[in-house]
Amino acid sequence: MADTIKCPQCSANLIFNPDTQKLECAFCGGAFDPSSIESTPDELKEGKTKGAEDQAKAFEGDKDSVFEAEADNAEFTVTEKEAAAEDNSDKTEFVCNACGARVVTDSHTSATFCAFCGSPALVGQRLADNFKPKYLIPFSIGREKAENLFIKWAKGGRWTPMNFVSQKNIEKLTGLYVPFWLFDYNIDLDVTGKGSTSSISGNVKTIKDYEIYCKGKMLFDNVPFDGETRIDDALMEAIEPYDMKKMIPYDYKYLPGFFADRYDLDAQGLKDRAVKRGREYIDQFIKSKTKKYDSFSIKENKSAFTDIRADYALLPVWFMSYKYLGKYYYFAINGQTGEVAGTLPISPVKKVVFFFILLAILAVIVRAVMALIMGGTFG
């Protein structure tokens, strides 16, 4: 069974509006703060657990569940609680509580719409147990603003197809809560390097070498990594950062009106990416501290990653896909900040037209130059 959140005044379906941050009723016009809605759909009551808290224990407090890393060989010892068994079927069926229709979705979809009556549907049991998020960042950018942001961004593409920025394509924008793992970790910095400076006085060039030692502690909180294998990682990183100060404890009442997925890649499967990004932070930090040297190289890096833990959260993203000449192009908009990312398609027709226009302009210029050279008698 899939459920909805009902209006306290008329029992119609409520949908969360990012622009007002209210649950709104299209039937009676009522608007309600999510915290004022106390009723909980039956499915969510059945699945109400401390799943996210249990997951976090895999990274804190449990001596058998830690990451251990040495910077020189990047080897890890990881033990994590086994996740609950997932539905082996790619497609599952739910019954819409509003009209009774049976709707088929993939096994990872947790919030969707009924294809028959259009009601927002919460498949609550799919966000229970180990799949219950600990945190959520609500959408703060609604559809209209997301469309305008995308149009403004897409119009900057010189070679985009003529019909790319069209109402037909813009309507494909879909609001989705994407499952993310937010990593916290400490880095005990221990880097030895060599720096050099050079100066010239007269005919004498002087080179000075320095031994550089960088030691200290770097602390990182809420570094996001998407836990959805069907979504391009680079696309998600391109729309960062999110303002984590506006993150709230998970509340299902912010889901109606949007799609939501649950993760299919757990925190253990993201450990390599988390540490890789940590090493990139180290490189950036060292580079910023050694700018005064003409050259710098790292001789030894014994930095260690400690106290790594991860929390499960849902973050807002607007998505759009576009098929052009047999290839799919994907675009994403940060549902909190409005950052847009993606790869724009290139129209061969536009490039050919531009080439011939340029050729014609060059022909006119050459003709004019030749006329001047030959005393205005050319042609």
- pLDDT for res 12: 87
Question: Token pair of 284, please?
Answer: 């950036």
d(CA 113, CA 253): 15
Residue 214's contacts (CB-CB under 8 Å, 6 or more residues apart) are 189, 190, 191, 192, 193, 285, 286, 289
pLDDT over 70 percentage in the chain: 69
Mean pLDDT (the chain) is 77
Instruction: Give yes or no for a contact between 130 and 83, defined as CB atoms under 8 angstroms apart.
Output: yes
- pLDDT for res 111: 60
Of 303, 308, 323, the closest CA to residue 267 belongs to 308
- pLDDT for res 112: 64
Question: Token pair of 178, please?
Answer: 């994407």
- pLDDT for res 70: 33
Question: Token pair of 344, please?
Answer: 């724009």
Of 266, 270, 276, the closest CA to residue 187 belongs to 276
Whether the pLDDT of residue 74 is over 50: the answer is no
Question: Token pair of 283, please?
Answer: 């490189």
d(CA 240, CA 4): 31
Whether the pLDDT of residue 353 is over 80: the answer is no
Instruction: Give yes or no for a contact between 193 and 296, defined as CB atoms under 8 angstroms apart.
Output: yes
Whether the pLDDT of residue 133 is over 80: the answer is yes
Question: How many residues would you count in the chain?
Answer: 379
- pLDDT for res 226: 94
DSSP code at position 72? T
Three-state secondary structure call for residue 135: strand
Whether the pLDDT of residue 75 is over 90: the answer is no
Of 210, 178, 42, the closest CA to residue 123 belongs to 42
Q: What single string gives the DSSP state of each residue in 337-366? A: T--EEE-----HHHHHHHHHHHHHHHHHHH
Q: What single string gives the DSSP state of each residue in 145-189? A: HHHHHHHHHHTT-TT--TTSSSHHHHTT-EEEEEEEEEEEEEEEE
- pLDDT for res 107: 63
- pLDDT for res 178: 93
Instruction: Give yes or no for a contact between 318 and 146, defined as CB atoms under 8 angstroms apart.
Output: yes
Give the highest mean pLDDT range of 52-66, 225-239, 318-332, 355-369.
225-239
Tokens 């989705």 found at: 176
- pLDDT for res 78: 28
> What confidence tier does 80 reach under pLDDT thresholds 50, 70, 90?
very low
d(CA 112, CA 138): 16
- pLDDT for res 36: 87
> What confidence tier does 3 reach under pLDDT thresholds 50, 70, 90?
low
- For 135-147, how does the pLDDT look when each residue is reduced to its tens digit (9 = 90+)? 999 999 999 999 9
Question: Between vectors from CA 76 to CA 70 and to CA 81, what angle results, nearest 5°?
Answer: 140
List strands edge to edge, sheet with 31-32: 14-17, 22-25, 31-32
Instruction: Give yes or no for a contact between 138 and 154, defined as CB atoms under 8 angstroms apart.
Output: no
The two most distant CA atoms of the chain are separated, in Å, by: 92
Three-state secondary structure call for residue 209: strand
- For 181-191, how does the pLDDT look when each residue is reduced to its tens digit (9 = 90+)? 999 999 999 99
Instruction: Give yes or no for a contact between 250 and 52, defined as CB atoms under 8 angstroms apart.
Output: yes
* Pairing verdict, β 109-113 and 259-261: antiparallel
The stretch 64-69 carries a mean pLDDT of 32
Rg of the Cα trace of the chain? 28
- For 319-334, how does the pLDDT look when each residue is reduced to its tens digit (9 = 90+)? 988 888 888 889 999 9
Torsion on CA atoms 260, 266, 269, 270, rounded to nearest 10: 60
- pLDDT for res 333: 96
- For 269-316, how does the pLDDT look when each residue is reduced to its tens digit (9 = 90+)? 998 899 899 888 888 888 888 888 899 888 888 999 988 999 999 999
pTM over 0.75: no
d(CA 261, CA 131): 10
The more confidently predicted of residues 90 and 19 is: 19
- For 206-264, how does the pLDDT look when each residue is reduced to its tens digit (9 = 90+)? 889 999 888 889 898 999 999 988 889 999 999 999 999 999 999 989 988 888 888 88
Q: Return the minimum-mean-pLDDT range out of 58-62, 169-173, 222-226, 311-315.
A: 58-62
